[in-house]
């Protein structure tokens, strides 16, 4: 995946139909399936007092202006300008903000905001497949009410199948995503247009006065309704997060000229149907469709929700890798499912956790209406985090005045805060699910980061400076043996612990020695020309620093094999990799709270070995262990 090229040249390249189809398949699956449940869930709040045309028009007005202000203005026109070397998303935005922030305290706050947004994204990744697939399969009830009994089993089968095929990768399936979503948007726009033609008065809801009137008339109930209106903009973050795949221009064009119009047509078509027949509120999306077309629409909706879920699942893999590269998560197994596309990865641990979480939600809530109460918190929380980080980036990097930044993003922060507060009312009914998940992940990530920092500080304290070691080496009686030794070290200024243990126990040092350090940078990708730096420290002893972006996966043998032009004759079958394996134990006076300490130790013991993570041949590895108390 050449995200840098896509981001840098996306605005200039000639747009092709295939690229726009790809945008539809990857970017708009989540927001494109929101019409299945958003309007129905919002109008359901008025059932107890009776639904009049004023309520229908008011809710439609709120949905339309939410799509316009949050998605179009905030994300498409503003936030998407903040690209990190062509890459978007909450973590890329956090890296930008950290780069321009002044003051260590501000940097810590911004890092916590970014990690909080990433953790809430995982909550969204669990809820989206559950609510999307359920809402699609529930369309069977409009064909025959007796089919309600099979909704849960069919939904579970679809979800299990979706997660079980993840190991195969999305390359071949992905080519089908775009055309399916194009048919989906055309279909939902067409059935909505038919209803609007029969009830054109519904177009009055384009005026914001109907939304304001609803708020002034119903006060508290209108505030509650906002918690459901926000369901129409779920997936807005995907426009920004997937910018690196296609560039900003195709995403903006697809939204403005195709996705937004078809979504508005469908929402207003549902409203027109409810105005004519209030009983249609039972399931306005599927009841808009003629009886002969409902089964095909259920099948199309199921395919669309699978695509929407796939986008969130793939996104969860990418965010996990980014968190690992930034030092917020322990090493996990990352399998590449494509020989040519770096971005197509599969993380088995994350896949299993998501599958279990989605199935638990499906059988715990049992319907999309009930699950809607758990939706929204994660989305609006991520909106708030994006506002904070964007305000810093536009102020520091783009030179906006303080008042311009505060007025613009402070205004959006106020809007997002209202949506977040409205969704907070759902906490007792299920909104606690993404909150608990997000807080739990924040606890895990911050504990891992703090534990690794303490471990590195302890290692530096006990380590020998490399310069001092090299100065004494010619006078020492160390026996040099044939071959090449590769020592991995987290700090290139100190002697690797594995080397000291090798000298202590084996009394030898190889004739050729490479000290290899991996640096993870706050950019998505590193150009190949800047990937490696080589310094000769002494005859046949070299320091090698390898740089990776947060969107890349390390492959040390490949990088070392490519150093021939820099004077390193690397022979894979002659090299031995010496790694230090740390056995972590609690110190008598731990420097971490006990709950953080045990979380850190648990994650450390279950982390993937450096051998697998760096893709080192296991038969070329020598591990030397040491006990470390923290």
Highest mean pLDDT among 266-275, 529-538, 588-597: 266-275
Percentage of the chain beyond pLDDT 70 is 93
Spatial distance between the Cα atoms of 260 and 63, rounded to a whole number of angstroms: 12
Q: Tell me: the pLDDT tens digits for 20-34?
A: 777 887 788 888 989
pLDDT band at 581 (very low <50, low <70, confident <90, very high): confident
Smallest CA-to-CA distance from 380 within 211, 198, 209, 227 is with 227
**E-strand spans in 429-569?**
479-488, 508-520, 532-538, 541-548
Give the CA angle between residues 156, 159, 163 to the nearest 5°.
140
Smallest CA-to-CA distance from 236 within 103, 102, 336, 386 is with 386
pLDDT at 170 (0 to 100): 56
- Tokens coding 142: 């409009």
How many CB atoms sit inside 10 A of residue 554's CB? 18
Residue 90 has pLDDT above 90, yes or no: no
pLDDT at 489 (0 to 100): 85
Residue 344 has pLDDT above 80, yes or no: no
- Tokens coding 452: 């690794």
DSSP labels, 352-395: HHHHHHHHHHHHHH-SHHHHGGGSSHHHHHHHHHHHHHHHHHHH
Q: Which helix (H) or strand (E) holds 503?
A: helix 497-506
Q: Are 546 and 518 in contact (CB under 8 A)?
A: yes
Percentage of the chain beyond pLDDT 90 is 31
What's the rounded mean pLDDT across residues 40-53? 88
How many CB atoms sit inside 10 A of residue 481's CB? 11
What's the rounded mean pLDDT across residues 516-534? 87
How many CB atoms sit inside 10 A of residue 474's CB? 9
What's the rounded mean pLDDT across residues 48-76? 93
Residue 382 has pLDDT above 60, yes or no: yes
- The model carries a pTM of 0.82
Q: Which helix (H) or strand (E) holds 234?
A: none
pLDDT at 1 (0 to 100): 37
Virtual CA dihedral for 253, 255, 256, 259, nearest 10 degrees? 130
Q: Are strands 541-548 and 532-538 parallel, antiparallel or unpaired?
A: antiparallel
- Of 304-313, 331-340, 396-405, 454-463, minimum mean pLDDT range: 331-340
Long-range contacts of the stretch 593-597 (C-beta < 8 A, 24+): 596/443, 596/446, 596/447, 596/450, 596/451, 597/451, 597/630
Provide the 3-class DSSP secondary structure of residue 35: helix
Report how far Cα 359 is from the mean position of its chain's Cα atoms.
Answer: 20
Q: What is the DSSP-derived secondary structure letter of residue 235?
A: T
Q: Are 225 and 42 in contact (CB under 8 A)?
A: yes
Q: Are 233 and 416 in contact (CB under 8 A)?
A: no
pLDDT band at 192 (very low <50, low <70, confident <90, very high): very high
Spatial distance between the Cα atoms of 556 and 551, rounded to a whole number of angstroms: 16
What does pLDDT average to over the chain? 85
Q: Are 97 and 442 in contact (CB under 8 A)?
A: no
Spatial distance between the Cα atoms of 547 and 554, rounded to a whole number of angstroms: 9
Q: Are 70 and 383 in contact (CB under 8 A)?
A: yes
Q: What is the largest CA-CA distance in the chain?
A: 95
DSSP labels, 552-607: ----HHHHHHT-GGGT----GGGEEEEEEEEEEE--SS-SS-HHHHHHHHHHHHHS
Residue 9 has pLDDT above 50, yes or no: no
- Tokens coding 264: 């508005």
What's the rounded mean pLDDT across residues 8-12? 39
Q: Tell me: the pLDDT tens digits for 527-558?
A: 888 899 999 998 889 999 999 987 788 889 99
CATH numbers and ranges of domains, the chain: 3-430 (1.20.1740.10), 458-629 (no CATH)
Spatial distance between the Cα atoms of 170 and 180, rounded to a whole number of angstroms: 15
- Tokens coding 432: 């606690």
Query: Which neighbouring-strand residues pair with 628?
Result: 584
pLDDT at 6 (0 to 100): 38
pLDDT at 12 (0 to 100): 40
Q: Are 554 and 548 in contact (CB under 8 A)?
A: yes
Q: Are strands 621-629 and 575-585 parallel, antiparallel or unpaired?
A: parallel
- Tokens coding 459: 């290692």
How many CB atoms sit inside 10 A of residue 583's CB? 11
What's the rounded mean pLDDT across residues 303-307? 85
Q: Are 610 and 616 in contact (CB under 8 A)?
A: yes
Q: Tell me: the pLDDT tens digits for 124-142?
A: 778 888 888 888 888 888 8
Residue 462 has pLDDT above 90, yes or no: no
The Cβ-side half-sphere exposure at 13, using a 13 Å CA radius, reads: 16
What's the rounded mean pLDDT across residues 180-196? 94
What backbone phi and psi angles, to 5 degrees, belong to 401?
A: -70, 160
Q: Are 547 and 530 in contact (CB under 8 A)?
A: yes
Q: Are strands 479-488 and 575-585 parallel, antiparallel or unpaired?
A: parallel
The Cβ-side half-sphere exposure at 287, using a 13 Å CA radius, reads: 18
How many CB atoms sit inside 10 A of residue 398's CB? 12
């Amino acid at each position: 995946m050449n995200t840098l090229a896509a981001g840098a040249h996306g605005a200039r390249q000639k747009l092709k139909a295939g690229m726009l189809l790809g945008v539809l398949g990857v970017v708009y699956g989540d927001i494109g399936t929101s019409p299945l449940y958003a309007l129905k869930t919002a109008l359901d709040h008025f059932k107890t007092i009776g639904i009049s045309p004023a309520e229908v028009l008011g809710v439609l007005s709120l949905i339309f202006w939410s799509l316009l202000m949050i998605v179009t203005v905030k994300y498409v026109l503003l936030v998407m300008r903040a690209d990190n070397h062509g890459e978007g998303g909450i973590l890329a935005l956090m890296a930008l903000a950290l780069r321009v922030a002044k003051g260590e305290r501000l940097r810590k706050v911004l890092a916590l905001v970014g990690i909080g947004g990433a953790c809430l994204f995982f909550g969204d990744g669990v809820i989206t497949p559950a609510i999307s697939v359920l809402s699609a399969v529930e369309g069977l009830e409009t064909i025959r009410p007796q089919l309600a009994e099979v909704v849960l089993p069919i939904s579970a089968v679809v979800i299990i199948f979706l997660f079980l095929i993840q190991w195969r990768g999305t390359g071949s399936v992905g080519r089908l995503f775009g055309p399916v979503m194009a048919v989906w948007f055309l279909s939902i726009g067409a059935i909505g247009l038919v209803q609007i033609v029969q009830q054109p008065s519904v177009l009055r809801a384009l005026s914001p006065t109907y939304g304001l009137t609803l708020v002034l008339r119903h006060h508290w109930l209108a505030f509650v309704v906002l918690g459901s209106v926000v369901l129409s903009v779920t997936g807005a973050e995907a426009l920004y997060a997937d910018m690196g795949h296609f560039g900003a221009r195709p995403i903006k064009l697809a939204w403005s000229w195709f996705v937004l119009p078809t979504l508005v047509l469908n929402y207003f078509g549902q409203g027109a149907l409810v105005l004519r027949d209030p009983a249609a509120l039972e399931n306005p999306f599927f009841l808009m469709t003629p009886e002969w077309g409902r089964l095909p629409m259920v099948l199309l909706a199921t395919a669309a929700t699978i695509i929407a879920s796939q986008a969130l699942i793939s996104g969860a893999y990418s965010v996990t890798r980014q968190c690992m590269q930034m030092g917020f998560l322990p090493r996990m197994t990352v399998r590449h499912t494509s020989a040519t596309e770096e971005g197509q990865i599969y993380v088995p641990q994350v896949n299993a956790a998501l599958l279990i979480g989605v199935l638990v939600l499906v059988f715990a809530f049992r319907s999309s209406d009930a699950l809607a109460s758990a939706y929204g918190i994660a989305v609006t929380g991520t909106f708030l985090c994006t506002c904070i980080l964007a305000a810093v980036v536009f102020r520091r990097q783009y030179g906006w005045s303080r008042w311009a930044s505060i007025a613009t993003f402070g205004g959006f922060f106020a809007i997002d805060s209202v949506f977040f507060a409205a969704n907070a009312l759902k906490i007792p009914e299920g909104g606690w699910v993404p909150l608990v998940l997000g807080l739990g992940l924040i606890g895990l990530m911050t504990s891992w980061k703090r534990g690794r920092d303490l471990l590195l500080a302890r290692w530096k304290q006990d380590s020998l400076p490399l310069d001092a070691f090299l100065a004494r080496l010619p006078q020492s009686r160390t026996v040099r043996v044939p071959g090449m030794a590769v020592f991995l070290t987290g700090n290139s200024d100190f002697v690797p612990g594995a080397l000291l243990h090798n000298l202590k126990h084996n009394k030898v040092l190889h004739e050729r020695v490479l000290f290899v350090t991996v640096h993870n940078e706050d950019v998505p990708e590193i150009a190949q020309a800047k990937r490696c730096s080589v310094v000769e420290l002494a005859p046949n002893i070299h320091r090698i620093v390898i740089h990776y972006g947060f969107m890349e996966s390390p492959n040390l043998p490949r990088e070392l094999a490519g150093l021939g032009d820099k004077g390193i004759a690397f022979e894979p079958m002659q090299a031995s990799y010496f790694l230090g394996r740390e056995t972590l134990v609690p110190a008598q006076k731990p420097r971490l709270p006990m709950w953080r300490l045990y979380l850190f130790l648990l994650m450390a013991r279950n982390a993937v070995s450096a051998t697998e993570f760096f893709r080192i041949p296991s038969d070329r590895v020598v591990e030397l262990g040491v006990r470390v108390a923290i």
